[in-house]
Amino acid sequence: MTAEYQVNGAIAVITLNNPPVNGLGLSTRSAIVEGMKKALADDAVKAVVITGAGKAFSGGADIKEFNSPKALAEPTLHTVISVVENSDKPVIAAIHAVCMGGGLELALGCHYRVASAGAQIALPEVKLGLLPGAGGTQRLPRAVGLETALNMIVSGTPVASEKLAGTALFNQLIEGDLMQGALAFAGKMADIRPLPKVRDIKIDYPNHEAFLQFSRNTVKAMAGPFPAPLKCIDAVAAAVTKKFDDGLKFERDLFVELVQTTESKALRHAFFAERAASKIPDVPEDTPTRTIKSAAVIGAGTMGGGIAMNFANAGIPVRILEMKQEALDKGLATIRKNYENTMKKGKLTPEKFEQRVGLISGTLSYDDIGQADIVVEAVFEDMGVKETVFKKLDDVMKPGAILASNTSTLDVDRIASFTRRPQDVIGTHFFSPANVMKLLEIVRGARTGKDVLATAMALSKKIRKTGVVSGVCDGFIGNRMIEQYSRQAGFLLEEGCLPEQVDKAVEKFGFAMGPFRMGDLAGNDIGWYIRKRRYVEKPQVTYSKTADLLCEMGRYGQKTGAGWYDYKAGDRKAYPSGIVNDMIVRHSADINVERRKIGDQEIVERLVFALVNEAARILEEGIALRASDIDMVYLSGYGFPLFRGGPMFYADTVGLPNVVMAMEKYAKGRHGDAWKPAPLLSRLAAEGKTFN
């Protein structure tokens, strides 16, 4: 049973038992109602306590039932709350650890609530593009006051139970054993009538109209394209202005409306995609993992330093290896400065600062890193350099150590072949800045051990990354796709666009940064280096020469103070460059291309559909396990707009037949060869299917 019924003296206890967070799925809801019926039918029972087993009271809806008939089947959460609220025997919620979403709505339907200190209280539905749909927007303002409730509902942020002490949400904070305290409290309340209901509390907030309007103005400026935060305010406003039952119906109507929005569907897709990414079909969840108690990083540059910080942040001691003392000192100083800046912002205590800095040390000798459980190389992106490093690591690292490469494009199988232990080699492609970016592409080589893959996935969670598995190919998932995106951006320049127009169109679509501002931030010389390799390896693939001409001018981006844009000292703002724009126009004339006016729709379609088409090939080749993994790569590593759900989800939203139709149109222009639809995309479009 997902909820257990016991009687303790005159008190019935219903214990939610649906691990890991006692989600309120259909079987749990049914068991609560059955328990209530038993308690009400038993004359010996004077009161009922509802609590949660394990590490939660309840985390709310059972995510396994999202988008399934079970989510709406009777008894719904509304029905459960109605049974509890209308009970003629007092019902007490005994809350510990986690009380969120539907779990909090259930507790608010009880007559009394007791809690242990430190319990996390939240209505986080807004993070899925929704609002609380079982009375949360109507009862919470009555329990904790209008202002506190509004902040909790609009932000979805958890609040510790002790911070809500003194409100009508909690009748008592229990010190010591929660169940003993709850039973004692229930005994005292057993014969007290009438039974209090949160719904009967009057909201007293003078001049609430002005407060709600101020809230709307503030939230509107921050909500961006997401409709849910403002709808949350509308629902809370109904708690003040409408009768309770009318407010409840209004809340339900808004909830149903939000469920249908693309933005909520995109957020829910991302929520499930992140969980799916951790599941590897042929690597069971109980696969033994290797112990990671210490780490080493090769290279103290920007990437190496950022990777080292990830380990230190997770409490794992890490040693950085460099070839020269000067480079090592510079790298360690940069790490220290990064932590100092975080401390100045109040996001790191002095104690944590000392702890993290103390976990990072440096060395100039391979002999000093041999006992590390994992070593990540972050050296120059060149196969010859990687070969030297991995042959050395093969010699010095202890048996069972994981040898990881931070390569962003190179063949991990070839890197593994430089060692006598290919089963220990894996790709761990961090994204810059590595201590900030959430994505970690975990590249599985042909001979990578399952235990090594399982360990890398577990480690990604420990260092707070979203780990996504990729097979071996040039550029893996993210960079292989971005190459096609960048190619189209270059062709757009040749045909009539300037960098600012392309960037503005894509940023208006929702990207954090357009391709040219991104190039200036990452360093245009990196792409130049890769293209030079492509010209030799894949001479049949065409590129615009504008980016090469830019690099020949020494304009590598922000690090040189000039790239596609001009930059001023101490100012990261991108200023359009007359020199660059003249070069672009001149280049079009040199290659006999008549420049034309190009609209924002064409810019966005060419860039985004280029991503989608390459992603379809990646999926068909088995490089990515699932379409949602590709979406996670782009949402967490490339600034793809969250409200659009990732490139594959977005293509599904547009309709794959429409994507193919647009591609056929662009195939009639210059570089039409770039627009041949991937077989998987063509097939799904013809069958009226989707990627996800």
* The amino acid at 264: S
CB 642 within 8 A of CB 267: yes
Q: Catalytic: 507? A: no
Q: 125, 322, 495, 500: which is the annotated catalytic residue?
A: 125
pLDDT band at 392 (very low <50, low <70, confident <90, very high): very high
Query: Per the omega criterion (within 30 degrees of 0), is the bond before 422 cis?
Result: no
Query: Per the omega criterion (within 30 degrees of 0), is the bond before 194 cis?
Result: yes
CA-CA distance, 528 to 553, in Å (whole number)? 12
Q: Which residues contact 181 (CB under 8 A, 6 or more apart)?
A: 94, 114, 172, 174, 175
CA-CA distance, 593 to 610, in Å (whole number)? 22
CA-CA distance, 607 to 619, in Å (whole number)? 19
CB 90 within 8 A of CB 189: yes
> Looking at the predicted structure, is the pLDDT value of residue 526 above 90?
no
What percent of the chain shows pLDDT beyond 90?
92
> Looking at the predicted structure, is the pLDDT value of residue 67 above 80?
no
Tens digits of per-residue pLDDT, 441-474? Answer: 999 999 999 999 999 999 999 999 999 999 999 9
The closest of 463, 399, 394 to 428, measured between CA atoms, is: 463
Architecture of domain 3-259: Alpha-Beta Complex (3.90)
pLDDT of residue 105: 98
pTM to 2 decimal places: 0.93
Task: Provide the 10 A C-beta neighbour count for residue 230.
Answer: 15
SS3 429: strand
Query: Edge-to-edge, what's the strand order for the sheet holding 120-122?
Result: 98-100, 120-122, 159-160
CA-CA distance, 168 to 188, in Å (whole number)? 18
pLDDT band at 64 (very low <50, low <70, confident <90, very high): confident
> What pairs with residue 566 in β-bridges?
562, 575
CB 136 within 8 A of CB 236: no
Q: Catalytic: 274? A: no
Q: Could you please report the per-residue DSSP string of 314-349? A: TT--EEEE-SSHHHHHHHHHHHHHHHHHHHHTTSS-
Task: Provide the 10 A C-beta neighbour count for residue 426.
Answer: 26
SS3 326: helix
Q: Which two tokens stand for residue 131?
A: 């609002």
Q: Which two tokens stand for residue 502?
A: 């392309």
Tens digits of per-residue pLDDT, 72-92? Answer: 899 999 999 999 999 999 999
pLDDT of residue 539: 87
Ranges in the chain annotated CATH 3.90.226.10: 3-259
What is the torsion angle, in degrees rounded to the nearest 10, for the CA atoms of residue 143, residue 145, residue 151 and residue 155? Answer: 10
> Looking at the predicted structure, is the pLDDT value of residue 1 above 80?
no
Ranges in the chain annotated CATH 3.40.50.720: 295-470
Mean of all residue pLDDT scores within the chain: 96
Q: 85, 105, 263, 500: which is the annotated catalytic residue?
A: 105
pLDDT of residue 81: 98
CB 602 within 8 A of CB 509: no
Taking the chain, what is the end-to-end CA distance rounded to the nearest angstrom?
Answer: 33
pLDDT of residue 63: 77
CA-CA distance, 661 to 516, in Å (whole number)? 27
pLDDT of residue 570: 84
> What pairs with residue 440 in β-bridges?
430, 467
CATH T-level fold of 295-470: Rossmann fold (3.40.50)
pLDDT of residue 119: 97
CB 482 within 8 A of CB 577: no
Q: Which two tokens stand for residue 468?
A: 């996504």
Tens digits of per-residue pLDDT, 164-189? Answer: 999 999 999 999 999 999 999 999 99
CA-CA distance, 608 to 506, in Å (whole number)? 9
Tens digits of per-residue pLDDT, 348-358? Answer: 999 999 999 99
Report the sign of the C-alpha dihedral through residues 312, 314, 318, 320, in that order.
negative
> Looking at the predicted structure, is the pLDDT value of residue 359 above 90?
yes
Ranges in the chain annotated CATH 1.10.1040.50: 478-686
CA-CA distance, 277 to 625, in Å (whole number)? 8
Task: Provide the 10 A C-beta neighbour count for residue 534.
Answer: 13
Query: Per the omega criterion (within 30 degrees of 0), is the bond before 433 cis?
Result: yes
Tens digits of per-residue pLDDT, 288-334? Answer: 999 999 999 999 999 999 999 999 999 999 999 999 999 999 999 99
At 316, give phi and psi (nearest 5°): -100, 120
Tens digits of per-residue pLDDT, 127-150? Answer: 999 999 999 999 999 999 999 999
Between the alpha carbon of residue 396 and those of residues 312, 383, 400, the distances in Å are 23, 20, 12
Q: Which residues contact 131 (CB under 8 A, 6 or more apart)?
A: 125, 137, 153, 228, 231, 232, 235, 251, 254, 255, 258
Tens digits of per-residue pLDDT, 480-496? Answer: 999 999 999 999 999 99
Q: Which two tokens stand for residue 647?
A: 């490139």
State which H helix or E strand residue 207 sits in: none
Task: Provide the 10 A C-beta neighbour count for residue 546.
Answer: 22
pLDDT band at 514 (very low <50, low <70, confident <90, very high): very high
Q: Which two tokens stand for residue 269?
A: 């897709």
pLDDT of residue 468: 98
pLDDT of residue 645: 97
Q: Which residue matches tokens 């627009």?
A: 675
Q: For the chain, how many residues are written? A: 692
What is the chain's percent helix, strand, coil content, to nearest 5? 55, 15, 35
Task: Provide the 10 A C-beta neighbour count for residue 608.
Answer: 23
Architecture of domain 478-686: Orthogonal Bundle (1.10)
CA-CA distance, 612 to 477, in Å (whole number)? 11
What percent of the chain shows pLDDT beyond 70?
100
